[in-house]
Structure 1
Amino acid sequence: MNKTIKILLLVIIVVLVYIAYRLGWSVADPLISRQINNIHLTPNQIAANGPLPGEVSLYAKELSCQQNISTPGYYSSLNGAEISDAQRSGLFPCASFLGSHDGNNTVYAWRSVDDYPGISYINNRKPGELFIVGGEYPTLEDPNMAGPFIAKADASTGKEIWRTYVDNLNASKRWIGNANLNILENGKIAFAWSNQIILLDTDSGQILKHNTLPTGDAPANDANFKHMTVAPDGTLIMKDQTRPAGCTLQGTMAIIKCAGEQGMTQPNSILVAVDPDTLEILAEFLLPEPATAPHIISMFEDKIAIYVGMDKSVRRYFWEPTANKFSADESWALYPMQEGQTTATAPTLVGDWIAVQLNGIGSSTIASSIVVANLKDSAKKQIVFPFGELKKGEWSFAPPKCGADPENSMIYSADMGVGKVAGVKLNQETGELDVRFVLDNATTTFQPVIGPADKRILLLTNMEKNVAKEPIKAALFTGNYKEQLTWRNAATGEIIAESDFFEPLTINSLTPPGFGGRFYFPTAVGKGFYVLQVGPARTK
C-alpha cells in the first residue's frame, strides 16, 4: 500500500471518528446537561420533573364545595383566609388528597420559578391564582429585608404576575413582623403591617386605599397589626402585637427573644374596627394585657364575639355594628396559665368549648398544656398536659394555635421545644380531655386538617436538626435544620405520606392546600416556595 493510500485511509478514519463523535455527543450532551441540572434536586423534584397543576378535573368541584360553606366577609375559596375562616379553624374539608390512605404513596415536588424573599403566607382566590406575602421575615443572610410585599403568582409554576412592595424598614424604621393575608368577599385584599393598612386590587396589585391605625399604649414603631379577622357583618377587626419597649430586633421573633428570653415588658394591645371599603377607623378598645397571638371571631347568643388570648387571660369581647362599638363581656374570663407558663395562643372553637395552647412564647420551667373552657361558663374548664412534665434542661415552645376537628371532637397540640405533637379527644358533653396519641415530631406551625369528616388527614411539618446534638433553641434561631411535610391519619397520627426534607418552613407559617390536591410549602431561607402533590406509588 503506497503512502498516498495510507494517508487517504487515515483521513477517512479521522472523518468517521469525528462524525461518530458528533452524532454521539448530540445524544449525550442533553443527557449530561440533564444530570447536571438534577444534582441539586431532591427525589421528590426529580419524580415531578416539572410544574404540578394537580388534578384539574377537581378544580370546579372543590370550588363548588367551598362555596357551600359560609365564610361571611371572606372570598369563598379553598383558602381565601390566612387560616380558613374568621374562627381560624384550620379546617379545609373541600381540599383533596390524591394519594392512597393505606400509606403506599409517592410525593411530587416542584419549586417556584421565581423567588419571593422572606415568604410567609400563601392564599388562593380562583383556581390558578396564588397570593403571597413576603419580605417581612428576617433571615441571617438578610436581617433587614425590604418589605413587606404582596405578590400574585401562577399556582402551578410560581411565576410572578405582579408584586407590590408596601414598605422598607431600612427607610421607614418601622418594626416589621409577620403580616396576615386575607381576601375579602369582594375579591380585594385588605392588608395590614406595622400601624398601616391598605386595600389592594387583586387583578393589578394597585393600592386603592390607605390609612394609619391607632396603637394605644404602644409606640407606633412597636406595634404590628398582624391580626386581621373579618366579622360576619364585614367589619375588619384588627389587633396588634406589641414589641417590648427597648427591643430593636426585627420580625415577629423579636417578641420571642426580647419578651420570652430576656423578660422585657410588652405594652398592652388594642382592638380596632375598620370599614372594609373605606378603611375608616370605626372604633378602638384598649386591652388590659399584651396579646401576642391572633384573636378569633364567632357568634355567641346572636352577638359577634371576639375571643382574645393574652399574657395572663383569655377574654371575650363583643362587636356591635349598629353602634360601632366594642364591649367587654365581664361575665366570661379564663385564666389558664400555671406559674411559669407563658401566653395563650389563638383560641380554637370546638362545639361549645374553646381551647387554648399554653407556652406561646416559650418556658424553661413548666410544660405546655391544653385548656378548654365552656362558652357559657368559663369556670367550667379542663386541663391536660399532653407531653407530661418538662424535664430538666428542656424548653417548651408552642407558638401555633391548637388545631381542631370539631366534627370528630379532636384537638391537636404541638410543642416544638420538646419536639412532640399530640392528638387529644374532647368529650363535648363534659369537656374531659383524653390524649389519643403522641408523636415525636417537631413543628412550629399550625396543624390543619383536610378532607371529609370520615377521612380526615392531618398536615404536619417535621423538623430535623442538621447537627443532632445542637440544642433545639439554637437550631431554631439560626435556621440550622431541615423540614418536611407529612400527611397523617388525623385519628391515629399514622403517617400516610411524607415529603423530602427541604429548607426550613417559615416559622409559624402554614402549608396551605391548593386546588387539585396540591399543597404549598413556603420557605423564608430558600428560594420561593415548593408545590407538593401526593399520588399512589407506582406498581412495578
Structure 2
Amino acid sequence: MLMHSFLRSPFSILKGLFLITLLLTLGPSYASTGLFFNVAETGTSDPLRIKLALNGIGPVTVQNYLVNALNLSITTTVPNHIYNFAGIKIEKPGYRIAGLAPFKNGYYLFRVGDNLAANLLIIPPNPPWYPSLQAFEHYNSGRSHVFPEATFGGSLTLGNVVDTLNSLPLLYPSGYNMSYLDADHAYIYGGGYGDIAGSIGAYVDRVDPNTLERIWHRQLIITAENGEWDYPGSMGILEDGFIYVSYGYRLAKITPDGEIVKIKILPTGGIALPENTSFNGFNATSDGYIVMKSVYRQAGCTYQGPDALLNCPDPTDVPPSILISVDPKTMEVVDNITLPAAVGARPTITTYQGKNYVYLLAPTTAFRYEVKEGKFIPDNSWNPGMITVNGQTLCTSFSVMNDWVVAQTNTLPASTALSVIAIHQGDASIHYSLQPFLGDPIPPLVEAAFATAGPDASQAISWAPMAVSSDSDNNLIYASDALPGKIAAITITNKGLETVWKASQTTTEFTTLIGPSNNRVLVGTDIPGPEIPGTNLNDYAVWRNAATGVELARSPLLPAMTQGTMIQPYYNGDMFYEGQLGRLIKLMPRPL
C-alpha cells in the first residue's frame, strides 16, 4: 500500500483568506504541514490526476493529487474534525466514483475525517457499454465476469447470513441476464429457454429492484405462434443509453422507458432457415460496433431451447456460423462473413496493441479477426493449432486476462477431463493447457446419469457448459466442472498453468467476481449432492474468498437457477438470482 501527499494548487484571494482562517483555527501543527489529505491507494494500476476538497460543494481548499491505483482510502490531516461534504474530482473523462453521483460542479461528495476513512473506488470507462455496475451480461467485452463496482454485503472475516426476497407470485420465466442504468433502473431479459415451462419467447421487463415488481413488460416474440427456435440471446446497454436485445435472428433497440425504436431482421447465412437460426448473444467493440454470431438447430428438428443442441438427431448437421457487425446508430448490418465452421461459443472482444479483435473457438482450435470500423479482417498470423485432445468437446467462450485469452473445453458432456487453455494474444504459438480436475472422482449417481452422454454414447466424466472467469488484477482463472463437482483457481506462470486452490462445488452456471482487487469475492451456484446436474431442481448461492477458496456465505436452498447464466451483481452488496421457472430472488448477504 502506497501513501501519497501532494502540494496544493494556487488559491484565489478568497480561498487564501479562508485557508488563513482555517489554519489559525487548527493551530500550528497543521499549519506546519499544509496538507489536507492522506491518500492510500491499492488495486488496479491506473495513473490519474484528481482534485480533493474539504468542501466539494464550493469547492474551496482544493488540492491536486496524482494517484496510481483505483482503490482509494482517504483521511484528513485536520485533527478531531469530520467533513460531511468533502469532494473528489477525477481529471480524466469517463472515470467515476462507485456508488456516488457527481454534484453539479463535477465533484463527488463524501464524508471523511482524520479517524474516519473514506474508501472510494474509481471506476474506469468500459467502452462501449453504459457506465453502470452492469450494462452487459459479463460486464466487459472481454467477458471477464469481474464487476469492480459490485461489493460483498457480508463480512470477509466473520460469519454471514443471506436474506432473500422473491418475486412470487410474479414470474420472470427463464430470466437470463440483468442490466442497469443505475440502482433504480434495473432490466431483466428472459424467455429464451423454449424447453422450460412458461418460456414463450424473448421479453424485456423493467423491474423495481426494491420490491421485484414489474414496472413495464415488452414481449418481443411468441415462438409458439410461429414455430421458431426459442434459444437464449442476450441484453446489454450501450453508451447511448439504449437497451439492445438479441433473440432468434433479430436485434431490438429499446428505450429505457420500454419503447421499441427498431427491430432489425438479421441475415441467416443463406443455407439455414430463419426459424432454425439464433444469434446467441452479442458483443461490441470499443468503438461501438455490435458483433453477433449465429448458431443453428438441425433442419427438421423441433426441439426448443438448449435441448436442440443435445437431443436433435444430429446436432452437428448444421451449416457454418456467420459473423455479422451492426452499427447501433442506424441498426444496419455493416459486415457479414461465413466462418470456417459451426461456432457455438459467443464472441469475445478486446483491444490489444491498439486494435479491436474478436476471438472465436472452433471445435479443435481458435481464430480471430481484426474489427476495423465494423469490417472483419482475418488475422491468419494468429494460429494456435490444435488446442483440444481426443474425447473433449467444444470450448466455451474465451475470457480475456491481460495478454492472454483463456477458455475451458467440454461445453457438451465429454469422455476426457476438461482442459483450461491460455493462448497469448501477441503470439498464438505460446499456449498452455492444464487439466485441473483430472482423476477427481465422479459421484456414483452422476456417473450413472451420464453413462452414455459422452461422444459416441461413451461414459461422460466432464461437463462444463459455463465459461471460465478471469481476474487480470490477480492473475487468476476460475474453472468449474459439473460432473466431478469441483471449482478451481488457476494462475499463469512463466512455466505454464498452475492450480492455486480447488473446492467441492457443483455448478452449471458462470461464476461472478465482485469487490476490489485486494478483497475479491467469487460467487456461484452449488447443486445439492443428491441432485443430478442438468436436471436439478435446486441450487445454493455460495460466496467464496476468491484468493483462497474459503466459503464466506451460503444462501438458503433455492429453486434451480436458469442454466448457463450467472448470479447477477447489484448495488449495495446485493445480488439477483434468476430461477429457471421464473422466480426472481434478491440475495442480501450480511454479517451475523
Structure 2 length-normalised TM: 0.75
* 1:255 has 2:294 as partner: no
Q: Is the 8 A contact 1:289 1:312 kept in 2?
A: no
Work out which of the residue numbers 505, 522, 536 in structure 2 matches 1:441.
505
Q: Is the 8 A contact 1:209 1:278 kept in 2?
A: no
Aligned alpha-carbon RMSD (Å): 2.2
Q: Spell out, residue by residue over 1:218-253, the C-alpha distance to the aligned partner (whole angstroms, 9 max, x if none).
A: 322222112211111111111122223343211134
* 1:327 has 2:382 as partner: no
Kindly provide the amino acid, as one letter, of the partner of residue 380 in structure 2: E
Q: Quick one: distance in 2 between partners of 1:194 and 1:138? A: 11
Instruction: List structure 1 runs of 4+ shifted beyond 6 angstroms.
Output: 61-67
Q: Is the 8 A contact 2:562 2:579 kept in 1?
A: yes
Q: Secondary structure at the match of 1:454?
A: helix
Q: Quick one: distance in 2 between partners of 1:122 and 1:313? A: 31
Shift of residue 58 of structure 1?
A: 7.7
> 1:452: which partner in 2?
516
Q: Quick one: distance in 2 between partners of 1:488 and 1:402? A: 16
> 2:62: which partner in 1?
none
Shift of residue 140 of structure 1?
A: 5.4
Shift of residue 103 of structure 1?
A: 4.2
Q: Is the 8 A contact 2:188 2:206 kept in 1?
A: yes
Per the alignment, do residues 175 and 235 of structure 1 end up closer, same or farther by CA in structure 2, a change over 3 Å counting? same
> 1:209: which partner in 2?
262
> 1:418: which partner in 2?
484
Shift of residue 480 of structure 1?
A: 3.5
Q: Is the 8 A contact 2:297 2:315 kept in 1?
A: no
Work out which of the residue numbers 366, 376, 380 in structure 2 matches 1:314.
366
Map 1:105-254; keep pairs closer than 5 Å.
Answer: 105-113=160-168, 114-139=170-195, 141-142=197-198, 145-203=199-257, 205-216=258-269, 217-254=271-308
* 1:268 has 2:320 as partner: yes
Higher strand share: 2
Shift of residue 256 of structure 1?
A: 3.4
Q: Is the 8 A contact 2:251 2:263 kept in 1?
A: yes
Q: Spell out, residue by residue over 1:311-350, the C-alpha distance to the aligned partner (whole angstroms, 9 max, x if none).
A: 22211111110xx421110011233111111111111111
* 1:400 has 2:454 as partner: no
Per the alignment, do residues 431 and 93 of structure 1 end up closer, same or farther by CA in structure 2, a change over 3 Å counting? farther
Q: Quick one: distance in 1 between partners of 2:293 and 2:388? A: 22
Q: Is the 8 A contact 1:66 1:78 kept in 2?
A: no
Shift of residue 535 of structure 1?
A: 1.0
In structure 2, the gaps of 5 or more residues are 1-96, 109-119, 442-446, 448-458
> 2:342: which partner in 1?
290
Q: In the comparison of the two structures, how many residue pairs are matched?
A: 462
* 1:514 has 2:570 as partner: yes
Shift of residue 294 of structure 1?
A: 0.9
* 1:91 has 2:157 as partner: no
Shift of residue 215 of structure 1?
A: 1.6
Q: Is the 8 A contact 2:247 2:281 kept in 1?
A: no
Q: Quick one: distance in 1 between partners of 2:190 and 2:410? A: 26
Per the alignment, do residues 480 and 458 of structure 1 end up closer, same or farther by CA in structure 2, a change over 3 Å counting? closer
Work out which of the residue numbers 96, 100, 122 in structure 2 matches 1:60.
100
Q: Quick one: distance in 1 between partners of 2:334 and 2:192? A: 28
In structure 1, the gaps of 5 or more residues are 1-56
Work out which of the residue numbers 540, 545, 555 in structure 2 matches 1:484.
540
Q: Spell out, residue by residue over 1:174-210, the C-alpha distance to the aligned partner (whole angstroms, 9 max, x if none).
A: 111112110111111111111111111112x111112
Q: Quick one: distance in 1 between partners of 2:407 and 2:382? A: 15
> 1:367: which partner in 2?
417
Per the alignment, do residues 61 and 256 of structure 1 end up closer, same or farther by CA in structure 2, a change over 3 Å counting? farther
Q: Is the 8 A contact 1:118 1:139 kept in 2?
A: no
Q: Quick one: distance in 1 between partners of 2:102 and 2:551? A: 24
Kindly provide the amino acid, as one letter, of the partner of residue 443 in structure 1: T
Q: Is the 8 A contact 2:327 2:333 kept in 1?
A: yes
Higher helix share: 1
Structure 1 length-normalised TM: 0.81
Q: Is the 8 A contact 2:405 2:422 kept in 1?
A: yes
Per the alignment, do residues 62 and 165 of structure 1 end up closer, same or farther by CA in structure 2, a change over 3 Å counting? farther
> 2:398: which partner in 1?
347
Which structure has the higher relative contact order (CA within 8 Å, separation 6+)? 1
Identity %: 28
Shift of residue 520 of structure 1?
A: 0.4
Q: Secondary structure at the match of 1:333?
A: coil
